Structure 1
Amino acid sequence: MKFKAVLGFLFAASLSLNASAEKVAVLGVQQALLASEAAADYRQSLKAEFAKEDKKMLDLEKQVKATREKLKKNKDLASEAELKKMSIQFQKVFAEYQKSGQALQQKKMQREQAFIQEMRPRLDKVIRDLIEKEGYDVVIAKQATLFTKKELDITPRVVELLNKQ
């Protein structure tokens, strides 16, 4: 609800400012950051860093599928005790798969947040410099706009400047 109120305020403010503002632009801050060369390099380093863990997850996934298939195939042929044993084995493998997947996802999210925190000062400087150099009166978050002309979007320009740093 709070987000909608902020969006409404930004929209109303942009309408009233647009009447007096000489130069208006929109910017996708997150989009600019993720489209940068630094982000691409970081994704590659993360891929290398987590390669072993990703392989482990693939192996666990294969184990889960194989255990499930074994359980399905032997459902009619195995005794009650054997079925119970296979079911317990499946549950253990599946639980390990889920736990490992969640832990890996959490690690990746933490690393991505660290990257964003590290890049934020550079991004802020690029944005401030561009605003001063180009003389923008108003820069609106791209996510807060319903429609904008392509010419008003400075996101590609911010990516270009960010890549030069």
Structure 2
Amino acid sequence: MIRSLMIVAGLLMSLNVMAEKVATLSVQQALLSSKAAEAFRAELQKEFSSEQKQLLDLEAQAKKIQQQLKKGQGTQSKEVTDQQRVQFQKAFGEYQRLGQELQQVQREREQLFLQEMRPKLDAVIRGLIEKDGYDLVLNKQATIYAKPGLDITAKVVELLNKQ
């Protein structure tokens, strides 16, 4: 393990000697910080607001039934308790089903958004590399340490917002 780290450090040092201009970039942060991503999140929230409300209503209903079950333990007849358990299971099952369905649809929409944004992001990055003459751009998440001045994520977001 230590030997591997020393090899990687040695490679990076030799790359640094060859590369005159180095930068780090968080691609995910750049995409998620863009105005397009903000607009997309607002659109999703608006589009799925009724489903979110329905989900919250189901959650509240299940909690209410659960509290009634706890409150009535020992004081209610077995029939009433069994009926409340069935109601709880039905409400909770519907809550889980709707929640999973909503998450799946939102994930699919997010993937489409990312697919649409990727070519724009790639063009912005290539343009920035050419314009500023970067020799090496590293994934920010893969670096252990880099001076804050090497991070070009904010520049990428700014250029992405101009498109």
Query: Into which bin does the TM-score normalised by the smaller protein fall?
Result: over 0.9
Report the Cα distance in structure 2 between the residues aligned to 1:148 and 1:85, rounded to whole angstroms.
Answer: 61
Show the counterpart of 1:149: 147
* 1:1-165 matches, cutoff 5 A: 13-165=11-163
Taking structure 2 as the reference length, the TM-score comes to: 0.92
Number of residue-to-residue matches in the alignment:
160
Unaligned 5+ runs, structure 1: none
**2:73 partner SS:** coil
Taking structure 1 as the reference length, the TM-score comes to: 0.91
Q: CA deviation at 1:150?
A: 0.8
Report the Cα distance in structure 2 between the residues aligned to 1:12 and 1:104, rounded to whole angstroms.
Answer: 48
**2:134 partner SS:** coil
Q: Percent of aligned positions with the same letter in both sequences?
A: 54
Q: Deviations over 1:50-99 (max 9, x none)?
A: 01100101111110111111111111211122211211211111111111
Report the Cα distance in structure 2 between the residues aligned to 1:92 and 1:9, rounded to whole angstroms.
Answer: 58
Matched letter for residue 152 of structure 1? L
RMSD of aligned alpha carbons: 1.8
Spell out structure 1 runs of 4+ moving beyond 4 A: 7-13
Report the Cα distance in structure 1 between the residues aligned to 2:134 and 2:123, rounded to whole angstroms.
Answer: 15
Report the Cα distance in structure 2 between the residues aligned to 1:38 and 1:9, rounded to whole angstroms.
Answer: 40
Q: CA deviation at 1:16?
A: 2.5
